[in-house]
């Protein structure tokens, strides 16, 4: 009887050890995976241009300043028309009137002046027309328009608004690149590539095509869209 009990206990320990060994093997196998990144880039053209044209006019009287401001505004509109930019694409965004006499820091014997500053915003999908017009902005100065650099950037801002149209293809490209890298790693490690463990699409970035210090994507009509996706693949 004692022999039978000992035999049963011995078999039980052997089976338990075998099961434990198999469990540890599966655990180690489950922990075997590789992390890879897939990069996709695409060059795109801006499809929207924003161009704030700021100008100022001064006069010893409010009426004189208003007349000069009106003349400058007409000069800007004539310039844009000459560049084939639709009038409907232009709107008055801001107008400020300053009476220097009301400035507490103005010297008592200082001459009184009125300063009128206006901002005309050009918003259009005709990016090439804005790009060309910006190259000839000196013509505005030659015509007597006093351009101002207050309240932000003076040049056009170029935007790309159709990111959703290219996302699917770029994600597919990044996924394929990552899987190719994982397969190469598996071959080098003498393993088989298993299923997908985890995936992270990554963040889409719109970058300047010509990346240099001080150059932003908004300044360039041609941009680079980039995404880096991260994937974990099991190794078998």
- 86 DSSP assignment: -
What element of type H or E holds 117?
Answer: strand 114-124
Tell me if residue 83 falls in helix, strand or coil.
coil
Cβ atoms of residues 118 and 54 within 8 Å: yes
232 φ/ψ angles, rounded to the nearest 5 degrees: -110, 130
pLDDT tens for each residue of 123-173: 999 999 999 999 998 998 898 999 987 655 668 999 999 999 999 999 999
Res 53 pLDDT > 50: yes
DSSP assignment of 33-60, as one string?
EEEEEEEEEEEEE--EEEEEEEEEEEES
Q: Write out the two tokens for 142.
A: 């030659």
- 112 DSSP assignment: P
Domains and CATH numbers, the chain: 31-45+162-235 (3.30.110.170), 49-159 (3.30.70.2970)
The residue count of the chain comes to 236
Name the more confident of 3 and 86: 86
């Amino acid at each position: 009887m004692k022999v039978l009990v000992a035999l049963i206990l011995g078999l039980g320990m052997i089976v338990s050890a075998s099961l434990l060994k198999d469990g540890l093997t599966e655990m180690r196998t489950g922990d075997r995976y590789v992390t890879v990144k897939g990069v996709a880039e695409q060059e795109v053209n801006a499809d929207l241009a924003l161009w704030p044209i700021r100008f100022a006019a001064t006069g010893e009287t409010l009426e004189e300043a208003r007349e000069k401001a009106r003349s400058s505004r007409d000069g800007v509109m004539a310039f844009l028309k000459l560049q084939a930019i639709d009038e409907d694409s232009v709107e008055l965004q801001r107008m400020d009137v300053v009476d220097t006499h009301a400035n507490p820091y103005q010297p008592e014997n200082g001459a009184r002046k009125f300063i009128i500053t206006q901002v005309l915003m050009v918003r259009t999908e005709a990016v090439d027309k804005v790009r060309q017009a910006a190259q000839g902005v000196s013509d505005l100065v030659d015509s007597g328009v006093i351009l101002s650099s207050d309240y932000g950037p003076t040049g056009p801002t170029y935007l790309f608004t159709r990111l959703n149209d290219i996302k699917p293809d770029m994600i597919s490209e990044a996924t394929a690149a990552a899987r190719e890298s994982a397969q190469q790693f598996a071959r080098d490690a003498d393993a088989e590539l298993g299923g997908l463990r985890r995936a992270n699409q990554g963040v889409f970035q719109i970058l300047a095509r010509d990346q240099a210090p001080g150059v932003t994507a908004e300044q360039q009509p041609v941009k680079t869209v980039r995404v880096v996706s991260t994937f974990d693949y099991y190794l078998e």
